[in-house]
Chains A and B, each alone.
Chain A
């Protein structure tokens, strides 16, 4: 996962650790993100538009159809602690190039098109934190995001294994959709060579997917249950009630988190709210990936217009305009109804206290943690 870094010193560290990390060198190096400061909903498509320092790696990114570098990002306060980088790197889409995770699918996972659903279908994202388990994982991939995460130590070492190994019983379609670089929007997709798209689509031929999925499913001994979206079919109200009941009953540790934890996510200027299930993520990165994708269409003005035929393509200059001064941060409302910057506390604590999320303009978020904000300002 791209270690979004804050200060120079951290960059240095990340560089070191990145270089040192032996696994998925590709993704790591591609992860020029590591070198960049990424805070905001930059727009995919042009790294040049991204006001952060543009590393030479961004081209590499593009070459590898890795859209991370130029994608929408939500800036999150905090940095990746160095020790996490190795872990995090496995989220890189470099993985995608290495091999298709689903042998039945001829195409690279998730390349280019933002297939990733805003809600996880199939595997929990948590697996990605452990490199080792990666090859066994038949599930979603996360591209590393260039998030600035304030990781207070081990945010999500726990549930990684959750979802590992279990092919989502759901269709390979979902699986495909899961594995993708985050943040790519439709807009981005156009950049991608047609061929890749076709590959993906051919793979998406439904008929053998499910069966393949089934065989995969049965051949894996899942470490923990992969959560498929909307399955089993239980209403959110009931799921949330169950979840809080089980907390009250002092469940034994080590059980996979039961129930979903849906929180609303709003964004300044977006015409409607979204909801995310916090339990399907185990790190801040995963959450940001998903949110970025979910809200990307707002930022570039693709979505939101009602039924306007022929979606406009955003020109580069328009993107630039949007970007300049449109820096966003992710904040949350906690149990005490205070608004805090996301990323300050360990992940487990975060999901315990988070009641709702909001993507705010960084200018509005100034009061939240001024020092942190300063740190993460994108270099013009």
Chain B
């Protein structure tokens, strides 16, 4: 594939490095008119095998949503996802999982996702820039030469901002933190929207456990490639005690990461192509996120203890 670079120099570019979207862009940018690009879309190995696997039409719904908590609305109906396993590279669907619409099928609020990602970056940011003023610069106390008579410009100190090596007039002053906290409901809504986005785009997978048969990282890579899960996968388990095989395998891989449910955040969900949740995580997530929709705003003192009463402490026993 050829690409026209800077100053019209032809560069020969290896096509394998670039994604299909970028290939289309590069080909389109070279041409003068509209381009019909026929890049064959390769079906994943899994999709061809799925026709044989999904032979039976009935798949049992293995996890139902609490009917009393469902909203009374024609437009908010439960959504469904497959329950899968990581035990074998070939995807075996154990059944269906019902998901609450207020958590997995919200209105797609991109602005909230943006704000949550910005918040995650900013709240821990500290700007350490510091510029000394003329008072803080070494020296500069004495008038360098008399006011009149020398023929030179009048100056009061050699560290004034006009001078080389003088102080800075309105420079950055000391460590400055960008600490801020979005409201709790806003952050919860960000998680809900991120889960919705992942589910609706087919990047959310629910598994029974994160147990895999070997510690070999190649097993995970083969599995991800076979199932066409994308370049990066975020595996989320309930507690911090995650099975050893998965921990060791993912430790050797850059793009496949394991996380307890406590650490789930909008930035990580958007950064990784695929999100994999275990089934207990789904229940806990729904409990925690729906609580923010059903609680008093001006809660009593000791809201943390109230949460503990409702949900129990981490890790979930």
Co-complex (A, B): no
Q: Which residues on B are within 8 Å of A, measured CB to CB?
A: none
Q: Which residues on A are within 8 Å of B, measured CB to CB?
A: none
